[in-house]
Structure 1
Amino acid sequence: MKKSLLMLCFFLIGITNAQNIQSPSKNIRVDFNLNADGTPQYAVSYKNKLVVLESKLGIKLKEGGDLVSGLTIDNVKNTSFNESWKPVLGEQSSIQNHYNELTVSLSQKATQRKINIIFRVFDEGVAFRYDFPKQPKLNYFIITDEITQFNLAGNHKTFWIPGDFDSQEYVFNETRLSEIDNDKLNLNNGIALKTIGGKTVVQSPLMMKSDDKIYLNIFEAAVVNYPVMHLNVNTKNFELTSFLVSNAIGDKAYLQAPCVSPWRTIMVSDDARDIVSSKMILNLNEPSKLDDTSWIKPMKYVGIWWEMHVGESTWDYAGSQNASNVLDQSLKPTGKHGATTENTKRYIDFAAKNGFDGVLVEGWNTGWEDWAGNWKEEVFDFVTPYPDFDIKAISEYAKSKNVKMIMHHETSGSVANYERHMDRAFENMVKYGYPAVKSGYVGRIIPRGEFHDGQTMVNHFNYAARRAADYKLMLNSHESSRPTGYSRTYPNYIAAEAARGNEFNAWSTGNPPDHETILPFTRLLGGPMDYTPGIFEIKMNHYDPKKTEQVHTTLAKQLALYVTMYSPLQMAADLPENYEKYPDAFQFIKDVAVDWDESKYLEAEPGDYLTVVRKAKNSGKWFLGAITDENARNSEIKLDFLPKGKKYKAIIYEDAKNAHWQKNPIAYKIKTVEVTSKSAIKLTLAPGGGTAISFEPVK
């Protein structure tokens, strides 16, 4: 009798205080419980091995107590979900969204408040979020901290950058978790504005690999009306805790119930290809809010941009005269201004001749003389061109050549000013036929005291996408908070920068050869990146013999990046004359697609190498990109992704035998072979090199 009663008590405790849920494949399991203090805890297992040890969950509030302890379980709900959906633009024409869900409803007797914790478990990982239901005792509230922990099972190899509230434009560090230390970094890296959260604060997504070859990635999805989450690392016990970016007065988030937090995500696999190919972040965002998406088109473009970075021209019209009104007749042009009518028409001609969709022009509008570093409120009005830029004539000329113009809106960090002018700026774009805008946020944010990654700015970046959609305009943001899948909800948010791009190679220590092998495991998990590849003149002494800077890749790797760095908005970033010197290599950039029906990650190892093959949208053509770090690499790729029974012409753009990213970067060769699905191709990548292949059906 006593034994039966004891067993019944254990059974009831198991129902009320401990729950678990598995992925559809049953490889991943989440265990949830409340500890003796009523604090929520969870753990994650992969193939019966703990990868996240028992970790605490909870929310701290500014007023009226915290939702951290003293909680009890009111209800538990289990559901499953399985559907496929079609992205407007993407790596796949169809994406599977399959998960099991556990919702734990909690209440706090002392405050009579309620909070739900929702877990979703996919075959590639785990996601969870806080849900605040509508309730009498919690209406408007302020979050001061999130007690979200990721208690890791070991001292993993980690790819990390500092937890900077204002910039993600860092090279990655590859160390053990125990070795993370921002104080030891050389921060003379070309980043003008730095606001690092602490000695051991790092950014997510955080990519890791355990000693037993388990790949882990901690990130977040659907960051809406909430600050960005960085991570504070305990370098002794490998416990990570959420570190939310505050606003100007130290608060983290202002919310009103009902509402939810972003999803906190943990990807896990013993195959790195599962991480880099995951669509979990996109799946955790809401479906598209746009009824009509027919106007959202992929674009391949050139533009007046790289010539400023290499010193051939300038963004400003009048130089160091520091004029607040460049239309003042006393001002004299320096003659170095890049965005002139004549120069823009030259780029339009080049785009039309080579089949490019668009032309970007930076520095076209007044204000560039008087803002850098000044924290000035009103710099740009986003509609007034310089005297040497005839926006109407250029618009008409581009239209006659069937080329679209891409607008540039540099905000100088004065977000309040941009929002005041946004509608007039977008109306101006519609008037002159600009379908897409590249926005920039260089500098300290106005309203003063806000950070790029705070709630205010997250709301602004998302608002800009929504408002652009009202005008049927596509958005490409630079210096924004990093994307977390919002492009599913607003697919006109076509791309973003939010990482260290190719331009750093022109005037700083640059991006090391492993940089592009890490970005697909980190930044690109949240959405497409405008990395601006395609630089053919690798060494900057081409422009000035005194310069020592260079792009840290071979030319062949620059071609491969068009496949490995996914974006439906891809720039051929070099100068037209540089492409005209290498027309055979330039052919790949002209041919490669930017929107895809299918993508397969054939080889992957973060920090070392990546090989991807993609099928062009509504086409029989396939394109392959393979890249490596500073080490040479040989491999053999089976072509079983090609349709059976069909012949293809494979045009292979590869490193020459003597190619080397530093010693001989422009050495490449091109060969053509006939292949089928039964064929295999040997890849030979130079140090810092790559291979690009186009597969064309043989008729």
Structure 2
Amino acid sequence: MKHLILTCFFCLTLFSGAQAQQLKSPNKAFTMDFSLQNDGTPTYALKYKNKEVIKTSKLGLVLKNDQKSLLNDFTIVDTKTATFDENWKPVWGEVAEIRNHYNELAVTLNQKGTDRQIVIRFRLFDEGLGFRYEFPTQKNLTYFVIKEERTQFAMTGDHTAFWIPGDYDTQEYDFTTSKLSEIRGLNEKARTANVSQTSFSTTGVQTSLMMKSTDGLYINLHEAALIDYSCMHLNLDDKNMIFESWLTPDAIGDKGYMQAPNSSPWRTIMVSDDARDILASKMTLNLNEPSKIEDTSWIKPVKYIGVWWEMITGKSSWSYTNEYPSVQLGITDYSKAKPNGTHGATTANVKKYIDFAALHGFDAVLVEGWNQGWEDWFGHSKDYVFDFVTPYPDFDVKGIQEYAKSKGVKMMMHHETSGSIRNYERHMDKAYQFMNDNGYTSVKSGYVGNILPQGENHYNQWVVNHYQYAIEKAADYKIMVNAHEAVRPTGISRTYPNLIGNESARGTEYQSFGGSKPNHVTLLPFTRLIGGPMDYTPGIFEMDLSKLNPDNGSHVNSTIANQLALYVTMYSPLQMAADLPENYNRFLDAFQFIKDVAIDWSDSKYLEAEPGQYITVARKAKGTNNWFVGNVNGETSRTSNIKFDFLEKGKKYTATIYADAKDAHYKTNPQAYTIRTVTVTSKSKLSQLSVPGGGYAISIIERK
């Protein structure tokens, strides 16, 4: 208590100025300055270790319907400060305990002429800054519509950026590395085709945006706690190097319907002179509320396989028949249709996957294409696409569930909405109850294609609210959610830990659609994973996809060792062994690592990191003294050098190292690997080659 009083006294002394306020982080590395310009425009600026990171930047919102915007004419009527310090335990995560430590400044502003008030709340952590707009209960600002948010992030120079184009509907792009000044010229080339996409600007980019300054600062811009609000993109004024927030609109162009009291999501700025600090930060989680699910005993990490990759590669199909050009649920009689012979979700085929899962200790089996309606599911603006409970004639729901239960394996449900979110909500209770009745504890949901009603976007407020509704409704039925094509996560898994995974980025499936850049997986942890875990679906061992489907000429741009390392570097409590069982049977010695690697951790150490080039991570399996290490490499061969000083002193461990062979290469020799076993202690060191698109994985087991 004495520490808290002294801290607050210090803050009150520091914040005595009428128009200028200053806030420091607990470790004093960051300084944030808030002030009002002469016209009453609120601004902020941020320094890290006395280096300017964000130059003076404006804050505010533009309102619709002839209301005076919340941009200027403000005066400061109150400031409140606080220090917060706690430790909390996530249900699942990279570490067993997370420290939430920040200093806070809340500035209450009154607008002259309207007598309206807003609060801008700043929280300064040892990793960076979070701030948001708050709208307290008041007579003169109750219901209002946001036309645009005008939050600025003024850069100090022409930084190197790792970016994807601004888009209202998809994040499924490869990353482009360029100077900020080059974004305009490269943006069109960076927008590769997708089944649903809506770009808005030649200088628009998406968060989480990773940058590096010429003087070696790593800067990350993102948002946290995206609730009842539109997803934020960034639009660059490339003459002045100023990013400005750009919210996703709805079908009529509005960007937010607000009712006070309410608040915006947090806008986040993480900064360090060490890239590893960005990866290790828990600031995004800390800006979300604690879990609202009291009993979390049913939420458990999952390692699974599934009838999926054979469909993605074209070896098999989601649909049951080729006879019907269109289907109508409840009218179309599938019992009279001739099976196409390529349907993947057959009882016999699924049982093979269940057998493989049981033999190798996997928790669950995902099956896609099990339910009626896949013959004309996409591209027709069709509202009633699926009912999520009616199986095809060749998929025995009860029989498969009983068979899986007898083998100690759970089944994972698949719900594809085809973007028809109204239809999904119409059927959601019945679909979740169906899962409960048939022993399904987790669901992979999908939002492929344009959103219905027409004109809505994947990332606007109304659709964001749908994703949240699905998570909360699933919690009522004790169901874990893995949402694909939904809005990118912003730490909401702290509040609703049944959200165990998302896609919301260019996943492994794109290796079958023409390939991803070899350094893609060295960027995702710096960008997409800042907000939460990704269902990346790693573990591909056969890189030449023509061997699965002669019509598929794609190549997986990765080595086998790189694929193994992803189970450590791409953190997720939901991990899939995505390849076909027959491909794993060809490389059982390498497959052993996928079987052994943990999916829930008590500690994580980021050993090496440089965005776009390499990442090396060590993680300690929860409830054990065993560690696993993963290294993924970009396009240039390098030697990774690490120490094992994270191991317990005085203990000996057996380390099994799965590494690239000397002649391995993601394109020309991806299946060349070596496996060796050595004894290591906390004093050991490793020097290990990582080839282009390669890496290594290590299991470190304590000797008893």
Using structure 1 for the length normalisation, give the TM-score: 0.97
Q: Which moved more, 1:138-147 or 1:524-533?
A: 138-147
Counterpart selection for 1:403 from 401, 409, 424: 409
- 1:334 partnered with 2:343: no
Residues in 2 aligned to 1:140 and 1:345: alpha-carbon distance in whole angstroms: 55
Counterpart selection for 1:479 from 485, 491, 495: 485
- 1:347 partnered with 2:350: no
The verdict on how the C-alpha distance between 1:320 and 1:179 changes in structure 2, with shifts beyond 3 A counting, is: farther
1:294 paired residue number? 297
Instruction: Report % sequence identity.
Output: 59
- Residue pairs, 1:365-376, within 5 angstroms: 365-376=371-382
- Residue pairs, 1:515-594, within 5 angstroms: 515-545=520-550, 547-594=552-599
Residues in 1 aligned to 2:274 and 2:335: alpha-carbon distance in whole angstroms: 64
Residues in 1 aligned to 2:598 and 2:380: alpha-carbon distance in whole angstroms: 41
Counterpart selection for 1:662 from 664, 667, 670: 667
The verdict on how the C-alpha distance between 1:12 and 1:605 changes in structure 2, with shifts beyond 3 A counting, is: closer
2:474 paired residue number? 468
Residues in 2 aligned to 1:256 and 1:379: alpha-carbon distance in whole angstroms: 34
Q: Which moved more, 1:226-235 or 1:63-72?
A: 63-72
Letter of the 1:424 partner, please give it. K
2:27 paired residue number? 25
Residues in 2 aligned to 1:322 and 1:477: alpha-carbon distance in whole angstroms: 29
Counterpart selection for 1:166 from 153, 164, 169: 169
**TM-fit CA distance, 1:549:** 1.1
Residues 14 and 21, structure 2, Cα contact 8 Å, conserved in 1: no
2:325 paired residue number? 322
- 1:491 partnered with 2:527: no
SS in structure 2 opposite 1:16?
Answer: coil
1:152 paired residue number? 155
**TM-fit CA distance, 1:319:** 2.6
**TM-fit CA distance, 1:331:** 2.0
Letter of the 1:165 partner, please give it. Y
1:416 paired residue number? 422
Residues 353 and 581, structure 2, Cα contact 8 Å, conserved in 1: yes
Residues in 2 aligned to 1:545 and 1:187: alpha-carbon distance in whole angstroms: 29
Residues in 1 aligned to 2:443 and 2:351: alpha-carbon distance in whole angstroms: 19
The verdict on how the C-alpha distance between 1:646 and 1:13 changes in structure 2, with shifts beyond 3 A counting, is: closer
Residues in 2 aligned to 1:87 and 1:618: alpha-carbon distance in whole angstroms: 14
**TM-fit CA distance, 1:182:** 6.8
Q: Which moved more, 1:180-189 or 1:476-485?
A: 180-189
**TM-fit CA distance, 1:14:** 6.7
2:48 paired residue number? 46
Residues 119 and 135, structure 2, Cα contact 8 Å, conserved in 1: yes
Residues in 1 aligned to 2:640 and 2:447: alpha-carbon distance in whole angstroms: 41
SS in structure 1 opposite 2:18?
Answer: helix
1:311 paired residue number? 314
Residues 190 and 504, structure 1, Cα contact 8 Å, conserved in 2: no
Counterpart selection for 1:78 from 81, 102, 109: 81
Residues 557 and 691, structure 1, Cα contact 8 Å, conserved in 2: yes
Counterpart selection for 1:436 from 439, 442, 461: 442
Residues in 2 aligned to 1:390 and 1:190: alpha-carbon distance in whole angstroms: 37
Letter of the 1:674 partner, please give it. T
**TM-fit CA distance, 1:635:** 2.2
SS in structure 1 opposite 2:453?
Answer: coil
The verdict on how the C-alpha distance between 1:540 and 1:57 changes in structure 2, with shifts beyond 3 A counting, is: same
SS in structure 1 opposite 2:376?
Answer: coil
**TM-fit CA distance, 1:449:** 1.1
Letter of the 2:213 partner, please give it. S
Residues 157 and 210, structure 1, Cα contact 8 Å, conserved in 2: yes
SS in structure 1 opposite 2:594?
Answer: helix
1:628 paired residue number? 633
1:93 paired residue number? 96
Residues in 1 aligned to 2:127 and 2:187: alpha-carbon distance in whole angstroms: 34
**TM-fit CA distance, 1:49:** 1.2
Residues 314 and 552, structure 2, Cα contact 8 Å, conserved in 1: no
Residues in 1 aligned to 2:170 and 2:610: alpha-carbon distance in whole angstroms: 26
Letter of the 1:525 partner, please give it. I
SS in structure 2 opposite 1:220?
Answer: strand
Counterpart selection for 1:132 from 131, 135, 140: 135
Residues in 1 aligned to 2:190 and 2:183: alpha-carbon distance in whole angstroms: 15
Counterpart selection for 1:598 from 589, 603, 613: 603
Letter of the 2:152 partner, please give it. Q
1:60 paired residue number? 62
SS in structure 2 opposite 1:347?
Answer: helix
Gaps of 5+ in 2: 1-12
Letter of the 1:577 partner, please give it. E
**TM-fit CA distance, 1:201:** 0.8
The verdict on how the C-alpha distance between 1:289 and 1:544 changes in structure 2, with shifts beyond 3 A counting, is: closer
- 1:447 partnered with 2:450: no
- 1:514 partnered with 2:516: no
Q: Which moved more, 1:344-353 or 1:318-327?
A: 318-327
Residues in 2 aligned to 1:45 and 1:12: alpha-carbon distance in whole angstroms: 17
Residues in 2 aligned to 1:588 and 1:183: alpha-carbon distance in whole angstroms: 39
Letter of the 1:600 partner, please give it. K
1:359 paired residue number? 365
CA deviations on 1:477-509 (whole Å, 9 max, x unpaired) are 00000000000000000100000000100122x
1:652 paired residue number? 657
**TM-fit CA distance, 1:236:** 1.6
Residues 554 and 667, structure 1, Cα contact 8 Å, conserved in 2: yes
Letter of the 1:636 partner, please give it. N
The verdict on how the C-alpha distance between 1:582 and 1:60 changes in structure 2, with shifts beyond 3 A counting, is: same
Residues in 2 aligned to 1:474 and 1:301: alpha-carbon distance in whole angstroms: 14
Residues 327 and 386, structure 1, Cα contact 8 Å, conserved in 2: no
- Residue pairs, 1:601-616, within 5 angstroms: 601-616=606-621
2:508 paired residue number? 502
SS in structure 2 opposite 1:134?
Answer: coil
1:456 paired residue number? 462
The verdict on how the C-alpha distance between 1:13 and 1:329 changes in structure 2, with shifts beyond 3 A counting, is: closer
**TM-fit CA distance, 1:243:** 0.2
Residues in 1 aligned to 2:557 and 2:302: alpha-carbon distance in whole angstroms: 26
**TM-fit CA distance, 1:675:** 0.7
Residues 666 and 692, structure 2, Cα contact 8 Å, conserved in 1: yes
SS in structure 2 opposite 1:32?
Answer: strand
2:7 paired residue number? none
Residues in 2 aligned to 1:371 and 1:308: alpha-carbon distance in whole angstroms: 15
Counterpart selection for 1:382 from 388, 396, 421: 388
Residues in 2 aligned to 1:468 and 1:591: alpha-carbon distance in whole angstroms: 30
Gaps of 5+ in 1: 1-10
The verdict on how the C-alpha distance between 1:101 and 1:661 changes in structure 2, with shifts beyond 3 A counting, is: same
Letter of the 1:249 partner, please give it. I
Using structure 2 for the length normalisation, give the TM-score: 0.96
**TM-fit CA distance, 1:318:** 0.9
**TM-fit CA distance, 1:321:** 2.6
The verdict on how the C-alpha distance between 1:377 and 1:295 changes in structure 2, with shifts beyond 3 A counting, is: same
2:209 paired residue number? 206
**TM-fit CA distance, 1:539:** 1.4
Residues 162 and 182, structure 1, Cα contact 8 Å, conserved in 2: no
Residues 182 and 198, structure 1, Cα contact 8 Å, conserved in 2: no
Letter of the 2:703 partner, please give it. V
2:10 paired residue number? none
**TM-fit CA distance, 1:185:** 3.2
**TM-fit CA distance, 1:330:** 3.7
